[in-house]
Amino acid sequence: MFKKGLIASLPIAIGYIPVAITFGVTALALGFNGIEAILASALIFAGASQFALISLISHSFIDAVTIPIILNLRHIVYSCIVSQRFEIRKPFITAFGLTDEVFATSLKANDEMFILGLEFGAYLSWILGTAIGILGGAVLLSNETLVPSLVFALTALFLVLLIPNLKGYYTLSALIGGTIALIFHYFGYTSTGILLAGVLSPIVILKIKNR
Amino acid sequence: MMEHYVAIILVAIGTYLARFLPIYFNERFKRLKGIDEFLTYSSTALISALFVTSLLSFPVKLKNISISIVALAFVFVSYKKWKNLGFSVLIGVTAHILLSFLLNCIVCAV
């Protein structure tokens, strides 16, 4: 199952590498050294938070620490969902790699080893991308056609994961969740929107069902 | 700078705890009535939210969104036909690259 998870992490890796390259390049541009950039990817392993950290630290240390953590509060919901699906025997390891994309793909899993394979593949690509970014990513990022297409892999992945869910009340849940996220995304509060989508949408659906 | 290392470690700890604590205390969540149903709807809503926010960025650029929507049509059709996650994503990425290249050529020609 670990191997299956590793293979399933390929679409995630395709999307992660260009984003991680961008992170490596941006971190250097904002005054971080190569070791710090790699350390951030290796220890945090959360894209949006890492970008928030490196961009905020020159303004305020407190903001640079609190805002990335607030951005990651949505992971509480992810972990709740994953832990209810099957027994997690290695919570200390499994919890570490539960990113947005790993969570979404793990919903197809029924075994912890599959998730660990997913996490391992995604993590390696994230570290590799950051290293490439540090060593010379600026040259790669200059290709304006290739980078957005590779990042598109993540959108395609989410669509493929969404399709089997579009039945009955789940379609309504997807519509409500998507709308909530879109509104918050428009106003620049993407992470809050995702978190609220995961909390408010099921509340609305259960209210409608139990009426 | 020491400040960078401290910030990285604090964010890493905060992120890890957000991921770890709900798994560690999952037995308490299991005792909550109706939690299974709540979480299944929640997971669908979350995937939808992740999809929408990864697809759109503001201000919306017509060229970018058009390419993405056509590429997503390829993803949708290939998934419906073959039910293979990785293959469908690769088809989508390939379509996206080709469409971007094609549109750039048209823009250059005009």
Residue A205: predicted pLDDT: 94
* DSSP class of A164: G
Asked whether residue B17 carries a pLDDT value surpassing 90, the answer given is: yes
For residue range A31-83, list pLDDT tens digits in order: 888 999 999 999 999 877 888 788 778 878 888 888 788 778 878 888 888 88
Asked whether residue B36 carries a pLDDT value surpassing 80, the answer given is: no
Asked whether residue A116 carries a pLDDT value surpassing 90, the answer given is: yes
Q: Which residues of A touch B69 (CB under 8 A)?
A: none
Distance from the Cα of B68 to chain A's closest Cα (Å) equals 8
Asked whether residue B29 carries a pLDDT value surpassing 80, the answer given is: no
The length of chain A in residues reads 211
Residue B83: predicted pLDDT: 76
Parse chain A into domains and list their residue ranges: 2-151, 166-211
For residue range A146-192, list pLDDT tens digits in order: 778 877 877 887 898 788 888 889 999 999 999 999 999 999 988 88
Distance from the Cα of A132 to chain B's closest Cα (Å) equals 20
Asked whether residue A130 carries a pLDDT value surpassing 90, the answer given is: yes
Asked whether residue A128 carries a pLDDT value surpassing 90, the answer given is: yes
Q: How large is the ipTM?
A: 0.86
More confident residue, B40 or A131: A131
Residue A125: predicted pLDDT: 94
- Does the CB of A25 have a partner CB in chain B at under 8 Å? no
Parse chain B into domains and list their residue ranges: 32-109
Give the DSSP per-residue string, chain B: -HHHHHHHHHHHHHHHHHHHHHHHTHHHHHTSTTHHHHHHHHHHHHHHHHHHHHH--SSPPHHHHHHHHHHHHHHHHHHHHH--HHHHHHHHHHHHHHHHHHHHHHHHH-
Which alpha helices (DSSP H) does A88-167 contain, by range?
91-94, 100-106, 112-141, 146-162
Percent of chain A with pLDDT over 70: 99
Give me the mean pLDDT over the B14-32 stretch: 84
Q: Which residues of B touch A152 (CB under 8 A)?
A: 68, 71, 92-93, 96
Residue B77: predicted pLDDT: 95
Residue A131: predicted pLDDT: 94
